[in-house]
Amino acid sequence: MSKIILRDALPEDAAALLAIYKPYVEQTAISFECEAPSTEAFETRIRTISAKYPYLAAEADGRVVGYAYAHEFGEREAYKLTAELSVYVERSERRGGIGRMLYEELERRLKADGYHSMIAVITAPQTEEDPYSSLDSQKFHARMGFVKAGHLHQCGFKFGRWYDVVHMEKLI
Protein backbone atom coordinates (compact mmCIF):
# COMPACT_ATOMS: atom_id res chain seq x y z
CA MET A 1 0.00 0.00 0.00
CA SER A 2 1.17 3.51 -0.76
CA LYS A 3 1.86 5.98 2.01
CA ILE A 4 -1.34 7.74 3.05
CA ILE A 5 -1.22 11.49 3.58
CA LEU A 6 -4.00 13.21 5.50
CA ARG A 7 -4.79 16.82 4.78
CA ASP A 8 -7.65 19.28 4.94
CA ALA A 9 -10.16 18.73 2.16
CA LEU A 10 -10.63 21.69 -0.17
CA PRO A 11 -13.55 22.73 -2.36
CA GLU A 12 -11.31 21.83 -5.32
CA ASP A 13 -11.47 18.21 -4.10
CA ALA A 14 -15.22 18.05 -4.64
CA ALA A 15 -15.09 15.98 -7.84
CA ALA A 16 -12.70 13.43 -6.30
CA LEU A 17 -14.71 13.17 -3.08
CA LEU A 18 -17.94 12.90 -5.01
CA ALA A 19 -16.47 10.06 -7.10
CA ILE A 20 -15.89 8.18 -3.83
CA TYR A 21 -19.31 9.06 -2.39
CA LYS A 22 -21.51 8.50 -5.45
CA PRO A 23 -21.36 4.65 -5.42
CA TYR A 24 -22.36 4.69 -1.74
CA VAL A 25 -25.43 6.75 -2.66
CA GLU A 26 -26.39 4.82 -5.77
CA GLN A 27 -25.50 1.26 -4.74
CA THR A 28 -25.83 1.09 -0.95
CA ALA A 29 -28.03 2.15 1.93
CA ILE A 30 -24.98 3.42 3.80
CA SER A 31 -26.03 6.93 2.79
CA PHE A 32 -29.71 7.78 3.00
CA GLU A 33 -29.35 10.20 0.10
CA CYS A 34 -31.14 8.71 -2.89
CA GLU A 35 -29.48 10.86 -5.55
CA ALA A 36 -25.86 11.93 -5.62
CA PRO A 37 -25.35 15.69 -5.35
CA SER A 38 -23.75 17.74 -8.09
CA THR A 39 -20.09 18.69 -7.92
CA GLU A 40 -21.14 22.27 -7.21
CA ALA A 41 -23.36 21.16 -4.31
CA PHE A 42 -20.49 19.08 -2.95
CA GLU A 43 -18.15 22.09 -3.15
CA THR A 44 -20.68 24.05 -1.09
CA ARG A 45 -20.85 21.25 1.49
CA ILE A 46 -17.09 21.25 1.86
CA ARG A 47 -16.96 25.04 2.26
CA THR A 48 -19.85 25.16 4.73
CA ILE A 49 -18.78 22.23 6.91
CA SER A 50 -15.06 23.03 6.93
CA ALA A 51 -15.77 26.57 8.11
CA LYS A 52 -16.64 25.09 11.53
CA TYR A 53 -15.48 21.46 11.62
CA PRO A 54 -12.54 19.36 10.43
CA TYR A 55 -13.00 17.98 6.91
CA LEU A 56 -10.18 15.67 5.88
CA ALA A 57 -8.99 14.00 2.69
CA ALA A 58 -6.71 10.95 2.51
CA GLU A 59 -4.29 10.79 -0.41
CA ALA A 60 -2.23 7.93 -1.82
CA ASP A 61 0.22 8.80 -4.59
CA GLY A 62 -1.49 12.17 -5.07
CA ARG A 63 -4.94 10.57 -5.50
CA VAL A 64 -7.77 11.09 -3.00
CA VAL A 65 -8.81 7.67 -1.68
CA GLY A 66 -11.00 8.63 1.26
CA TYR A 67 -12.42 11.45 3.28
CA ALA A 68 -14.05 12.10 6.63
CA TYR A 69 -15.58 15.05 8.35
CA ALA A 70 -17.29 16.14 11.52
CA HIS A 71 -20.50 18.10 11.36
CA GLU A 72 -23.32 19.41 13.49
CA PHE A 73 -25.11 16.75 15.53
CA GLY A 74 -28.07 18.86 16.60
CA GLU A 75 -29.08 22.41 15.95
CA ARG A 76 -29.67 23.39 19.59
CA GLU A 77 -26.96 25.24 21.50
CA ALA A 78 -26.56 22.49 24.11
CA TYR A 79 -25.20 20.16 21.38
CA LYS A 80 -22.33 22.52 20.51
CA LEU A 81 -19.61 20.24 21.94
CA THR A 82 -20.91 17.10 20.24
CA ALA A 83 -20.08 16.34 16.61
CA GLU A 84 -21.45 13.75 14.21
CA LEU A 85 -18.84 12.01 12.06
CA SER A 86 -18.94 10.63 8.52
CA VAL A 87 -16.27 8.64 6.69
CA TYR A 88 -16.10 7.31 3.12
CA VAL A 89 -13.26 5.32 1.60
CA GLU A 90 -12.90 4.37 -2.04
CA ARG A 91 -14.39 0.90 -2.17
CA SER A 92 -11.25 -0.68 -3.63
CA GLU A 93 -9.22 0.77 -0.71
CA ARG A 94 -11.48 -0.39 2.13
CA ARG A 95 -10.04 -2.43 5.01
CA GLY A 96 -6.61 -0.90 4.53
CA GLY A 97 -6.61 1.37 7.59
CA ILE A 98 -7.59 4.60 5.82
CA GLY A 99 -10.87 4.98 7.72
CA ARG A 100 -9.06 4.44 11.02
CA MET A 101 -6.44 7.06 10.13
CA LEU A 102 -9.11 9.58 9.18
CA TYR A 103 -11.13 8.96 12.34
CA GLU A 104 -8.09 9.17 14.60
CA GLU A 105 -7.18 12.53 13.09
CA LEU A 106 -10.77 13.79 13.39
CA GLU A 107 -10.81 12.76 17.04
CA ARG A 108 -7.48 14.46 17.70
CA ARG A 109 -8.68 17.71 16.12
CA LEU A 110 -12.08 17.66 17.78
CA LYS A 111 -10.53 17.03 21.19
CA ALA A 112 -8.06 19.90 20.64
CA ASP A 113 -11.03 22.14 19.75
CA GLY A 114 -12.78 21.27 23.03
CA TYR A 115 -15.40 18.82 21.77
CA HIS A 116 -16.70 16.33 24.31
CA SER A 117 -18.33 13.59 22.25
CA MET A 118 -18.58 12.11 18.78
CA ILE A 119 -21.68 10.47 17.32
CA ALA A 120 -21.98 8.04 14.42
CA VAL A 121 -25.35 7.52 12.73
CA ILE A 122 -25.18 4.14 11.01
CA THR A 123 -27.53 2.28 8.70
CA ALA A 124 -28.46 -1.11 10.11
CA PRO A 125 -29.78 -3.83 7.81
CA GLN A 126 -32.92 -5.79 8.63
CA THR A 127 -31.15 -9.05 7.73
CA GLU A 128 -27.53 -10.14 7.46
CA GLU A 129 -28.04 -10.94 3.77
CA ASP A 130 -29.07 -7.41 2.80
CA PRO A 131 -27.46 -6.52 -0.56
CA TYR A 132 -27.27 -2.79 0.23
CA SER A 133 -26.06 -2.71 3.83
CA SER A 134 -24.03 -4.70 6.33
CA LEU A 135 -22.82 -4.64 9.91
CA ASP A 136 -19.34 -3.49 8.80
CA SER A 137 -19.77 0.11 9.93
CA GLN A 138 -20.98 -0.89 13.39
CA LYS A 139 -18.00 -3.22 13.73
CA PHE A 140 -15.60 -0.49 12.56
CA HIS A 141 -16.98 2.01 15.06
CA ALA A 142 -16.79 -0.54 17.88
CA ARG A 143 -13.10 -1.11 17.03
CA MET A 144 -12.64 2.66 17.17
CA GLY A 145 -14.01 2.75 20.73
CA PHE A 146 -17.60 3.77 20.00
CA VAL A 147 -20.43 2.16 21.96
CA LYS A 148 -24.03 1.65 20.90
CA ALA A 149 -26.21 4.42 22.28
CA GLY A 150 -29.51 3.89 20.47
CA HIS A 151 -31.42 1.99 17.84
CA LEU A 152 -34.14 3.51 15.67
CA HIS A 153 -36.34 1.02 13.86
CA GLN A 154 -37.44 1.28 10.23
CA CYS A 155 -36.78 5.01 9.95
CA GLY A 156 -35.13 5.01 6.51
CA PHE A 157 -36.66 3.72 3.29
CA LYS A 158 -34.39 3.08 0.32
CA PHE A 159 -34.31 0.48 -2.46
CA GLY A 160 -37.86 -0.57 -1.60
CA ARG A 161 -37.00 -1.68 1.93
CA TRP A 162 -36.85 -0.30 5.44
CA TYR A 163 -33.62 0.32 7.30
CA ASP A 164 -32.90 0.82 10.97
CA VAL A 165 -30.41 3.37 12.22
CA VAL A 166 -27.97 2.75 15.06
CA HIS A 167 -26.42 5.61 17.01
CA MET A 168 -22.96 4.97 18.40
CA GLU A 169 -21.04 7.40 20.59
CA LYS A 170 -17.58 8.02 21.89
CA LEU A 171 -16.68 10.44 24.66
CA ILE A 172 -13.38 12.19 24.03
Check residue 1 and give its pLDDT: 58
Check residue 126 and give its pLDDT: 83
Please list, residue by residue across 71-91, b when 16 or more beta carbons sit within 10 angstroms of its beta carbon and e when fewer do. Answer: bebeeeeeeeebbbbbbbbbe
CA gap 21, 37 in Å, rounded: 9
Per-residue model confidence as pLDDT tens digits over 135-159: 999 999 999 999 999 999 999 999 9
Per-residue model confidence as pLDDT tens digits over 2-19: 799 999 999 999 999 999
Check residue 92 and give its pLDDT: 79
Per-residue model confidence as pLDDT tens digits over 60-84: 999 999 999 999 999 999 999 999 9
Q: Is pLDDT at 127 greater than 90 in this prediction? A: no
Give yes or no for a contact between 163 and 127, defined as CB atoms under 8 angstroms apart.
Answer: no
pTM: 0.94
Q: Where are the domains of the chain?
A: 4-171
Q: Is pLDDT at 85 greater than 70 in this prediction? A: yes
Report CA-CA distances (Å) from 138 to 20, 74, 112, 166: 20, 21, 26, 8
Q: Is pLDDT at 95 greater than 90 in this prediction? A: no
> How many C-beta atoms lie closer than 10 Å to residue 119's C-beta?
20
The domain 4-171: what is its CATH number?
3.40.630.30
Please give the single-letter amino acid code of residue 168: M
Q: For the chain, what is the mean pLDDT?
A: 95
